[in-house]
Amino acid sequence: MENTKSSYPWKYTKIGGVTRVSIETGDDIAHLPTLDQKQWTVLSCPTTGLEIDPDTLKMLDTDGDGHIKVNEVTAAIEWLKKVLKNMDSLTEKSAVLPLSAIREDTDEGKKLLNSARQILANLKLDKQELTIAETTDSVKIFADTKYNGDGIITEATASEDGLKKIIATIIATIGKATDRSGADGVTKELIEEFYTEAADFTAWKNLSLSDTQLIPYGDKTAAARDAYYAIKDKVADYFIRCKLVAMDQSTSPALEISKENLAKISEKNLAAAIAEIETYPLTIINPKAQLPLNEPINPAWEGKFNALKSLILDVDFAGKSTISEAEWNTIAAKFDAYDKWLASKKGAKVEGVDFAFLTDVVAKNQKDELLALVDKDLAEKDNAESIQEVNKLAHLYRDLFMFLRNFVTFTDFYYQYKTGIKAMFQAGTLFIDQRSCDLCINVADMGKHTASASQSAMFIAYCDCENKKLGKKLQIAAVVTDGEVDNITVGKNGVFYDRAGNDYEATVTKVIDNPISIRQAFWSPYKKFAKFVEEQVEKFAASKESEVTSKANTAIAEKTTEITTAAPPAEGAPATPPQPQQFDIAKYCGIFAAIGMALGFIGSAIVAVVTGFLGLKWWGMILALLAVILLISGPSMLLAYLKLRRRNLAPVLNANGWAVNAHAFVNITFGATLTKLAKFPFVKGRDPLADKKYPWWKKVLWILLIVGIIGFVMYCTGKLERFGLKPIPMLDFTDKPATEAPAATTPAAE
């Protein structure tokens, strides 16, 4: 869609640092199809993850691709112009659709109005308005109607009992479809399939009834066949054993039941060992290869053999005590035709239906009557779809204006601090670290989202949220726009409330770190330096502790060894008293000297700074101090300023599948409304658990001591000579050039 010119006098406003068109009246909505698409804030948005009725979004998504685009929105507006008397009624966002709002001077409007009245009549309501709850409940709307245009007929559709039974049979055997009334029914395709299956199955079944060769054992043929195949392989095994024994009588013990095998299982519960017994021969091996019919049979096969005997052997070989392998093979030949007939079976889906009833259904062939009912139902398709259009109108009547304020413009997002209405992409509120974050967005794909959202220049805390009561889990991206963020780290817990008020346990899983404010950026270098120093001190202390502990353990071990290995004192001899440690003055002088040198180095550094300042006036010192502060905090503040200027919500929405057509800046002022910090009143009185305050006079003493040390060092190093204070020679540590000794005078010189 390309509309470069529009005669409509659009109004524009500055929202979120971008000029956007204003949508305030019904005329504005009606003329949106003429607005240049380049001026729309959004070009496409997903139909999921938004705080708006999903049914409304599906109705706007006419091509069903999961995204709503500009042309689909304008198509909905064009349709509304044909069915609504006044487009201004859309701005009321009412959930009640009055019939008086529907046009009667257009074909579309007349059709919808008739359908709306039909809905009221079906629901037995005596009023002139409809709610979304009423237009959505298609089950109630079509509950008392035989024909509703969906091409599905139910038992209630048919008036004849025979047709009702056929419909029930189709549902039970072939399948079912759910009618708009909520009842189970059948479609044209299901009816056609049923009659095809019924015709095929009855024809196949009748073939066996007319050909006696297919059923050699009459009604018992199926059971006889099952009995034959159940023992067929075991009988074949028996005949092979007989042939092997006939070749060599000495192999008989190996082919018969083994006494050793029986001995192994004799102490067991033989009923539990039936699987092993099944592997033994069917009966006693006969070298003549005759299968005995009246001799004892392997107990594991006795039941199957008796079934075979009663159904086949007693019929085919009545009065015989044994049969040969050739006679046994004649049984298989009888089942050849039957097996081929079984393989050609058709209509298996209706095999479980009473055959007499099925034969009657095929004979009467009421398929055309059922299909006629389907056609009669489909004849009401337009009226039924028109009823569905009323539901669409009710949804758009309530939701379209809100959707446009989040699609064409971001009005609801930027004016929420005034109206209290959140944007449709805001999922809820996260409470964490003494603040509430209102800019929380559902995340469908974490990897894809973080890759795009990192370009937003915003501080984002990704959270996994779970409500165990509802059995629901979700992921959100919470944008933090105010307050300190030192404590918002991975693993931090909070509570998330969705727009319906349901609470979720929230845990931070990932953080995209960006500046929150320039004030925070000012202190950032000092905090990082303090953290670095703290870490180094902790590392140093830990290493020293480990070193001291190691030395102590070594010393104790050595001392213990020395004591245990020393010769015991002679009996009666006085114990040697421990020798007192001698005071090593040289060692302690060295320590004090080292401390003095360290203090002197620190003092000299301070003196260098102070003497540099002494050459400046008071305002010069202040400027110098400010220059140092600016040198430290300036880069961090500049970087924060640049990032805060381009803090943009668009990449965060793009990560969820939006096609945002304009910037959506979140400046510091607006950001403060999206993240609210905890505020406490001033509390008088002293905290009983607070640390004791350090007395002021002790602080003064420490300051005087430090100043005294610095002054003493400066005095000793000659830094105060300019003020007439010369160091005492014996305390003069200044470096002086060596002077030559005066020449000795001689008497002659004198």
Phi, psi of 536 (to 5 degrees): -65, -40
Report yes or no on 7 lying in a domain. Answer: no
Report yes or no on 117 lying in a domain. Answer: yes
CB 13 within 8 A of CB 43: no
Report yes or no on 275 lying in a domain. Answer: yes
Report yes or no on 113 lying in a domain. Answer: yes
CB 425 within 8 A of CB 57: no
CB 312 within 8 A of CB 228: yes
Q: Coil, strand, or helix at residue 648?
A: strand
| Same-domain status, 330 and 400 | no
The pLDDT score that the predictor gives to residue 260 is 79
Boundary (domain end) residue, out of 299, 334, 369 = 334
| Structural tokens at position 77 | 């507006």
The pLDDT score that the predictor gives to residue 598 is 46
The pLDDT score that the predictor gives to residue 259 is 77
Residue 243 makes CB contacts below 8 A (sequence gap 6+) with: 289
| Same-domain status, 26 and 100 | yes
Number of domains into which the chain is organized = 3
Residue 47 makes CB contacts below 8 A (sequence gap 6+) with: 54, 57, 58, 60, 61, 66, 67, 68
CA distance 600 to 705: 15
Report yes or no on 36 lying in a domain. Answer: yes
| Structural tokens at position 304 | 């199957």
Q: DSSP letter for 639, please.
A: H
| Same-domain status, 318 and 394 | no
Range of the domain at 327: 217-334
Three-state DSSP string of 321-357: CEEEHHHHHHHHHHCHHHHHHHHCCCCHHHCCCCHHH
Boundary (domain end) residue, out of 414, 433, 464 = 414
The pLDDT score that the predictor gives to residue 477 is 95
CB 78 within 8 A of CB 33: yes
Report yes or no on 114 lying in a domain. Answer: yes
Report yes or no on 617 lying in a domain. Answer: no
**Among the residues of 188-273, which ranges form H helices?**
188-210, 221-247, 252-255, 259-265
What is the torsion angle, in degrees rounded to the nearest 10, for the CA atoms of residue 298, residue 303, residue 306 and residue 308?
-100
Phi, psi of 352 (to 5 degrees): -80, -10
The pLDDT score that the predictor gives to residue 571 is 54
CA distance 273 to 280: 12
DSSP percent split of the chain into helix, strand, coil, nearest 5:
55, 10, 35
CA proximity to 437, closest of 495, 487, 511, 510: 495
CA distance 412 to 568: 94
The CA-based angle 205-209-210, given to 5 degrees, is 115
The verdict on pTM exceeding 0.85 is no
The pLDDT score that the predictor gives to residue 748 is 42
Beta strands in 273-313 (DSSP E): 290-292
The pLDDT score that the predictor gives to residue 267 is 78
Report yes or no on 32 lying in a domain. Answer: yes
| Same-domain status, 20 and 137 | yes
CA distance 345 to 340: 9
| Same-domain status, 223 and 329 | yes
CB 135 within 8 A of CB 112: no
Concatenating the DSSP letter of every residue in 163-182 gives HHHHHHHHHHHT--EE-TTS
The parts of the chain modelled with pLDDT lower than 50 are: 1-2, 578, 580-607, 610-611, 613-614, 616, 740-741, 743-750
| Interhelix angle 367-378/188-210, nearest 10 degrees | 170
Handedness of CA 683, 689, 691, 694 (dihedral sign): positive
The pLDDT score that the predictor gives to residue 725 is 58
| Same-domain status, 139 and 20 | yes
CB 476 within 8 A of CB 427: yes
| Same-domain status, 118 and 38 | yes
CA 91 and chain centroid, separation: 36
| Same-domain status, 239 and 312 | yes
| Same-domain status, 19 and 109 | yes
